[in-house]
Amino acid sequence: MGTENQNYPNFPARPPPPSTSSSSPFASAPPPGVPPQSSGPQTVGFRPLSSQPTRPFTPSGPPMAPPVGAMRPMVSQIPGSRPPPPAYGGGPPGGVGGSFQRFPTPPPFPGSQNPPPSGPPPPTQTLAGHLSPPMSLRPQQPMGPPGGYVSPPGSGFQQSVPPVNPSYSGVGSGPPQPSFPGYPSNQGFQSASQGPVSSYPPQTGGFSQHPGQQNLHPGYAPPTTSSIQGLAEDFNSLSLSNIPGSLEPGLDPSSFPRPLDGDVEPKSFAEMYPMNCDSRYLRLTTSAIPNSQSLASRWHLPLGAVVCPLAEAPEGEEVPLVDFGSTGIIRCRRCRTYINPYVTFTDSGRKWRCNICAMLNDVPGEYFSHLDATGRRMDMDQRPELTKGSVEIIAPTEYMVRPPMPPTYFFLIDVSFSATKSGMLEVAAQTIKSCLDNLPGYPRTQIGFITYDSTIHFYNLKSSLSQPQMMVVSDLDDIYIPLPDDLLVNLSESRNVVEAFLDSLPLMFQDNGNVESAFGPALKAAYMIMNQLGGKLLILQNSLPSLGAGRLKLRGDDPRVYGTDKEYVLRVAEDNFYKQMAADCTKFQIGINVYAFSDKYTDIASLGTLAKYTGGQVYYYPGFQSSIQGDKLRHELARDLTRETAWESVMRIRCGKGIRCSSYHGNFMLRSTDLLALPAVDCDKAYAMQLALEETLLTTPTVYFQVALLYTASCGERRIRVHTAIAPVVTDLGEMYRQADTGSIVSVYARLAIEKTLSAKLDDARNAIQQKIVKALREYRNLHSVQHRLGSRLIYPESLKFLPLYGLAMCKSTPLHGGPADASLDERCGAGFTMMALPVKKLLKLLYPSLHRVDEWLLKPSVDHDDLKDVLRRLPLAAESLDSRGLYIYDDGFRLVLWFGRMLSPDIAKNLLGADFAAELSRVTLEEQENGMSKKLMRLIKKVRENDPSYHPMCFLVRQGEQPREGFLLLRNLIEDQMGGSTGYVDWMLQIHRQVQQNA
Amino acid sequence: MGEVWTWIISFLILITLVGLIVYQLMCLADLEFDYINPYDSASRINSVVLPESILQGSLCLFFLVTGHWFMALHGLPYLYYNFQLYLKKQHLIDVTEIFSLLDWEKKKRLFKLAYLILTLFLTLFWLIYSTLDDYEE
């Protein structure tokens, strides 16, 4: 499937922005810019129409459609068939018709939009799309509802109702299909929908590729008259129903939409407003803002945005730095909006009008510039703040409450027995030492350490010493700091002492047998040392805090709580100490990152609270062993220490008149109703927010958003990063759906669902996701049910075609999936904290990871291009994608799993694994061998890791059938499959469909 | 004459309670309009939460001791609610989540205020009633 998919992008479902409403069927004609289909398998096929020959003539046809419609139907009969031409050739108006054959392609098929290959299609032609029922017919098994109609003469089809639809039992049953991906060529089809069924005997293919619709619920057998569908439709559809009389769903899962191209951002919007900031900084859940509260309430999806203020820009697109010098930063007097490309200059350049509040402001003398004839400033090109949606402004002293702080790194390291035994201490000390040169902010960088077990150890790192001095404090009830300063020192001055300390650290505690952990008091001590400066506090914790304030109980061990209404209590911080400490730390600009390593319960729920409210992150390495996870820790700790970080920052999002941010979701603390306090931010953190309309009616044609992040850069400059975006206000719900951004919606939903698990059962959180999707689709259905006969199809806008799948993936993600037994509490909470901070792309990758087959690629001699994207296709995440003769690589951004099929040629295994290829894979680590194949694979893995350096995916090897590792590492993550009580993709779609139809 | 004093004392306690609730509401309103930061707001409110509960509890007890079981009964739901919150450790404002809970916290206090004012009127009624009683005797 993967392959075909790529071709699809060309068919955007939604019409170009200007074109409008859903009400006119024709609007959906392919957007002008869209090229006809690209080559590839698709070219051959065009979308077949659905099997209703009669349609055109139905009275209900749209007025305009007739001509086209007429031909359509005929075509449609042949769904899926590639060969049909002869039969139909003579077909009615079918000149055009001939050209439409069914698309071999899968899911994402915006039905209506596929233009015929030839020439620019008249708008009307587009229609056929959805209507065609997809059908996979097995040869000889025609199926269809009895009510069928007669196939057109000459077509040579027979219609019959299949008793049972075997069709879709998986790849295996398909004829000779080698593997899943391969199937595009054979398409069988069965058309069930719309009642009539034409079977196409000769055809054999196991899969129906067609995303069209199938309909198979007995109850829903569509009337034959559904001809209206001949019209262009603005939406995609999938028909999901059973064939009458058969129990087995006759669905063709291969036709379901899958995001095999990764995250595709809506493009049209960026093109419309080129001065908007890039979507990596700000993504709205829909780029069309509703003009009234009533409209907003009908849009059941979240109205919001995901902001990643410091996202890494590719080279050449860095955010320009602007210095207003003595002029001072130019902002609106009333609403404090920063000057941006959307302000307008009037009064021959002496005044400017704020785009957010419409206030007329004076232009300062130094900033004055004449306007040209069109009202543009003459100096526009020299001023990035007037041309770019993202700029960084150097802030003068008015924006500081104190001199900019130096980058500060403070380490709170657990040195108890398990920390030394697992090797954590050694890896951490080495990593910190190796990063000393790369810490940002030289020469101002400050550094300090505390270690603790049952006592707290302070280290005097004064530059005049040759060796660090250790001071032990064992009074945990009344913590005091043994030295007023020198516990937090300037790195460049004390470099030698710090290095000496890091060298000796693992040795000092080598034989430490202490198993206690005075974490709470140590945290307090660190807080007391840091609260003058602020900075980043890295906590490396190896066991459950057991002494002093903040001691935690082994509450996760109590099985009686699981599955009850009280279960959520386990997912929130047990002791108020943690929330209080987090709040205090944020107040003093301390950001906390928690690294947890224990193999036993450590109550990540409580520890993570520290990161959550200080804008930090949780890294969880269950059962850390330096031999296995050492590399991961090394990379992630190094990344944490060396990435560009914004210190003591606050972020505010200003919205145009009539709209405001109603809630925020992510890791931060609110300092006032709309001000996010972020002691340390970096490019790997994103924040979500929901918007609410304040006024019942928005009268402006557009709405502006401005994200401003005021921070101290590592170099000591105070800066303001400003991202500005504009979005049109619309009156039409259809337009909102068309402009929706699935990635952003999923991101907001995931955060809402995770927050919900903190106050409700997992089940409730999952149901909430499903309900929201159902409501949205139902509303969408209602929107179209008036003009279109929808029959039993599930319809959805092109922009949201992946939403149901991502919804399913969310329900199966670590924080939400299964019951209490399916993931340890710590893993769940750790993943929850991580997901709350992930930027959109990274989250989507985690939800729907990529799966590639690599054995064939490895065998190919070509060496030049090994870009994952070019060479390898992504496969659907289903067990059917796995061939026991293959080698697969699974990548969710956090780990890589190499899956060795049972029948994989031993040569490959031997080449990759060296001598121990037959050994149990859990003990084997992948190392580069002296042969081309292994080098090629390692290069690939390296590339994958470099593509996204925010986390270091660890590589796991697993052989087919190796339980329980296989299940845990891979099978459980094949989210389209039904696994132990969870729903598969097909069932999920059926459930959603059923619910959408209720009360529709 | 003792009756009158009972009502006067309970009246004074109620006035104090109303004052405490109004103070909390003011802190929340200030927070909403950004006049004070969440840390100050939360610590100010939290400093009076326990006194408020204790005072209300003693008022109930006072009614009971002086034999006004109806008034004691009237105060019970309030007492029970406070006690429940205390048991769940939710009686104090959580500074980290103060903004997301702002509406709920305000609503909660407005209800309490309404309840106290109702009690205040009842008390006033009894105060006047018993004064007249005394007077007639």
In DSSP notation, A496-515 reads HHHHHHHHHHHHHTTT----
Structure tokens at A112: 């209506």
For residue B114, the model assigns a pLDDT of 95
DSSP string, A142-177: ----TT--PPPTTS--B----SS-GGGS-GGGSSS-
Closest CA to A450 of A548, A527, A522: A522
Distance from CA of B36 to the nearest CA of A (A): 9
For residue A232, the model assigns a pLDDT of 47
Interchain CB distance below 8 Å, A672 and B37: yes
Interchain CB distance below 8 Å, A663 and B94: no
Residue B82 has pLDDT above 70, yes or no: yes
Measured CA to CA, the distance from residue A321 to residue A388 in angstroms comes to: 11
CA distances from A662 to A41, A632, A835 (A): 47, 38, 21
The count of CB pairs under 8 A between chains A and B is 30
For residue B44, the model assigns a pLDDT of 94
What is the dihedral sign for C-alpha A928, A972, A210, A164?
positive
Measured CA to CA, the distance from residue A155 to residue A87 in angstroms comes to: 5
C-beta of residue A62 within 8 angstroms of C-beta of residue A161: no
Interchain CB distance below 8 Å, B95 and A580: yes
Q: Using DSSP, state whether A677 is helix, strand or coil.
A: strand
CB-nearest partner of A583 from B95, B99, B102: B95
What is the dihedral sign for C-alpha B93, B95, B96, B97?
positive
Residue B131 has pLDDT above 80, yes or no: yes
> What does the longest C-alpha to C-alpha distance in chain B come to?
59
Q: Which residues of chain A have pLDDT under 70?
A: 1-234, 238-252, 556-559, 789-791, 820, 862-871, 999-1000
C-beta of residue A599 within 8 angstroms of C-beta of residue A809: no
Closest CA to A111 of A627, A794, A879: A794
Q: Pick the residue of B96, B102, B106 with the most A CBs within 10 A to test the interface with A by mutation.
A: B96
Measured CA to CA, the distance from residue B32 to residue A685 in angstroms comes to: 27
C-beta of residue A130 within 8 angstroms of C-beta of residue A233: yes
Q: Which residues of A touch B (CB under 8 A)?
A: 576, 579-580, 582-583, 587, 613, 663, 669-673
CA distances from A586 to A581, A613, B73 (A): 9, 7, 45
CB-nearest partner of B39 from A587, A613, A663: A587
**Residue positions counted in chain B:** 137
Give the dihedral of Cα atoms A794, A796, A800, A804; nearest 10 deg.
Answer: -10
C-beta of residue A851 within 8 angstroms of C-beta of residue A890: yes
For residue A190, the model assigns a pLDDT of 36
Residues of B in contact with A672 (CB under 8 A): 31, 34, 37-38, 99
For residue A251, the model assigns a pLDDT of 62
Measured CA to CA, the distance from residue A216 to residue A145 in angstroms comes to: 8
C-beta of residue A278 within 8 angstroms of C-beta of residue A389: yes
pLDDT digits (tens, 9 = 90+) for A574-615: 888 999 999 999 999 999 999 999 988 889 999 999 999 999
CB-nearest partner of B94 from A579, A671, A673: A579
Measured CA to CA, the distance from residue A425 to residue A415 in angstroms comes to: 7
User: What residue ranges in A467-506 does DSSP mark as E strands?
Assistant: 469-473, 488-490
CA distances from A76 to A253, A668, A930, A969 (A): 21, 55, 56, 44
For residue B1, the model assigns a pLDDT of 67
Closest CA to A94 of A46, A134, A29: A46
Give residue A806's Cα distance to chain centre: 9
Q: Using DSSP, state whether A275 is helix, strand or coil.
A: coil
For residue A881, the model assigns a pLDDT of 86
C-beta of residue A899 within 8 angstroms of C-beta of residue A883: no
Residue written as token pair 């001055």 = A493
Closest CA to A67 of A44, A96, A105: A96
Q: Pick the residue of A581, A584, A670, A758 with the most B CBs within 10 A to test the interface with B by mutation.
A: A670
Strand partners, A651: A676, A709
Measured CA to CA, the distance from residue A992 to residue B10 in angstroms comes to: 60
Distance from CA of A166 to the nearest CA of B (A): 53
Spell out the SS3 assignment of A701-763: CEEEEEEEEEEECCCCCEEEEEEEEEEEEECCHHHHHHCECHHHHHHHHHHHHHHHHCCCCHH
Measured CA to CA, the distance from residue A349 to residue A795 in angstroms comes to: 51
- Give the relative orientation of helices A576-587 and A519-530 as an angle to the nearest 10 degrees: 10
Interchain CB distance below 8 Å, A582 and B89: no
Closest CA to A495 of A441, A437, A538: A437
Measured CA to CA, the distance from residue A94 to residue A72 in angstroms comes to: 7
Residue written as token pair 């090629």 = A936
∠ CA A34-A38-A39 to the nearest 5 degrees?
Answer: 170
Distance from CA of A566 to the nearest CA of B (A): 12
Closest CA to A83 of A71, A72, A64, A98: A98
Distance from CA of A668 to the nearest CA of B (A): 9
Residues of B in contact with A589 (CB under 8 A): none
Cβ-count burial A354-388 (b if 16+ within 10 Å, e if not): bbbbeeebebeeebebebeeeebbeeeeebbbbeb
Q: Using DSSP, state whether A425 is helix, strand or coil.
A: helix
CA distances from B133 to B8, B71, B136 (A): 15, 19, 5
Measured CA to CA, the distance from residue A584 to residue A588 in angstroms comes to: 7
Spell out the SS3 assignment of A168-228: HCCHHHCCCCCCHHHHHHCCCCCCCCCCCCCECCCCCCCCCCCCCECCCCHHHCCCCCHHH
